[in-house]
Amino acid sequence: MKLLPQHIKETAAWCTQTEELIGNVQSKEELITLWREQLWPKNIEAMWIALEGPSSKMQNFVRLKEKLEKWLGRDDASVLLSNLSGSTGLASLGPVVGISSVVKGEMSQEDYLLEYGHRGPHEFELSIPDPREEPSWLEKQIQETKKSGINVDDLLYKQREQNEVVWRRLEQRFPYKINKLKRVIAKISEGPHLREAVRSEWTRVFRLNRSFALKAGELIGIGEDVFFLYVDEILGWLAGGSVIEERISTRKVNYLKYKQLPAFPSIIRGRFEPLQWMEDPNRRVDYYDPYIPLDSSIHSEIIEGVAGAAGRIEGTVRVLRNPEDGHQLLPGEILVTSTTNVGWTPLFPKAAAIVTDIGAPLSHAAIVARELGIPAVVGCGNATTRMKTGDRVIVDGGQGIVLTR
């Protein structure tokens, strides 16, 4: 799409300007107009660009990845496709590279929050503040980075060295094809770059909805209870209507009840009872289907997933439910969790390997792990229920398996 470069370049400034407009709103009518004429249309535009814009380039990336794996093997293919951050940077790596820059004095905390403050573990949950509203979050990340003694730049440099080693080996094997292969890989690497960049800008736009909601709560007089309303209810109340406040009370009770449950499966087929599902020690979180027999592999010593990032390592498991518990992850442990997003990225340099229940070769965990040279197995389905903190396991990222003991 021709709009992609312009969208990526201009969205940050548009968001800053719109944030100021929301802050200066004095009336309910003014806020409704701002939503309908600017904020809502921009939400739609950013969403569709993120979903559809890089699709053709990502399809090319997937096809070439499969060909490279057949031709060179998974390990070499993984290394060749790992140097995607390049000179322009990969948006998924931005937060962790940015923290490193702050630690080294190359970036101020203010500049970090301006560039990456919209990203976080709960970036699509509008009731939760992002790092821009909680400066203590960044300070905590800085302290954890210093405490770990791990330099993310060293990890990236080591991976670039491995990338060059593979290229030299291929140049000896295929001297007449190497230049063409380099051009093809350089071209298809645009896919992940674009996808991660437009996702970041979509998130930047989406976080403005929190500012809108908080302003609406202020004008209506219900404060942060506004997050228990649907958008049409907010607009209706702003327009002079009313909302039965008992709805808010009921929704609060339900929220607190369901908040205790683990993340639901990505795919649910048939009748689903959350409380019953939660009690199942062998539950999967990638899908739920009562008509499919229980996988017999749960009694095996092998946990099968998808190859995320090449490498084989033995280590101690650390199961984490959310990134706020990241301080529990010790350097060199194997991070096991349900799924990751950009909010987990600052933890990756400490981990010896990454294992997730949900994921695919182009998921966040796989992309970031490849860039940092960390073995990763994603999409295991039930890794978090089959492993516990303290277990010793072997992670084989190239084969997409975890060997338990």
- Report the share of the chain in percent with pLDDT over 70: 96
pLDDT tens, 66-99? 888 888 888 888 888 876 655 456 788 899 999 9
User: Average pLDDT for residues 32-52, to the nearest whole number?
Assistant: 95
> Token digits for 76?
């070499």
Q: Is 171 left (phi over 0), alpha (psi -120 to 50) or beta?
A: alpha
CATH class of the domain defined by 296-403: alpha beta
Q: What is the DSSP string of 55-112?
A: HHHHHHHHHHHHHHHHHH-HHHHHHHTTTTSTTT--GGGHHHHHHHHHHTTSS-HHHH
CA distances from 273 to 86, 263, 276, 287, 288 (A): 46, 13, 5, 14, 10
CA distances from 234 to 32, 128, 219, 243 (A): 9, 18, 11, 9
Taking alpha carbons only, the member of 306, 352, 350 closest to residue 325 is: 350
3-state secondary structure of 121: coil
Which one-letter amino acid corresponds to residue 387?
M
| Between 345 and 79, residue with greater pLDDT | 345
Cβ pair 19, 208 in contact under 8 A: yes
Backbone φ, ψ for residue 330 (5° rounding): -90, 150
Ordered by start, the domain boundaries in the chain are: 1-257, 296-403
- Report the share of the chain in percent with pLDDT over 90: 57
Could you tell me what percentage of the chain is helix, strand and coil, using 3-state DSSP and rounding each to the nearest 5? 60, 10, 30
Cβ pair 49, 241 in contact under 8 A: no
Q: How far apart are CA 393 and CA 359, in angstroms?
A: 20
Pairing relationship of beta strands 302-304 and 401-403 according to DSSP bridges: antiparallel
Q: What is the pTM assigned to this prediction?
A: 0.87
> Token digits for 33?
């107009």
Q: Residue 87: what pLDDT?
A: 46
Q: How far apart are CA 256 and CA 92, in angstroms?
A: 31
Backbone φ, ψ for residue 376 (5° rounding): -145, 135
Q: Residue 205: what pLDDT?
A: 98
pLDDT tens, 294-343? 555 556 789 999 999 989 999 999 999 999 999 999 999 999 999 999 98
Give the angle 136-98-212 at the CA atoms, nearest 5°: 60
Q: How far apart are CA 216 and CA 364, in angstroms?
A: 34
pLDDT tens, 241-293? 877 788 999 999 999 988 888 878 878 888 898 888 888 887 887 788 888 76
Given the structure tokens 């491995």, which residue do they identify?
162
CA distances from 108 to 49, 66, 153, 307, 405 (A): 31, 41, 18, 37, 46
pLDDT tens, 213-228? 999 999 999 999 999 9
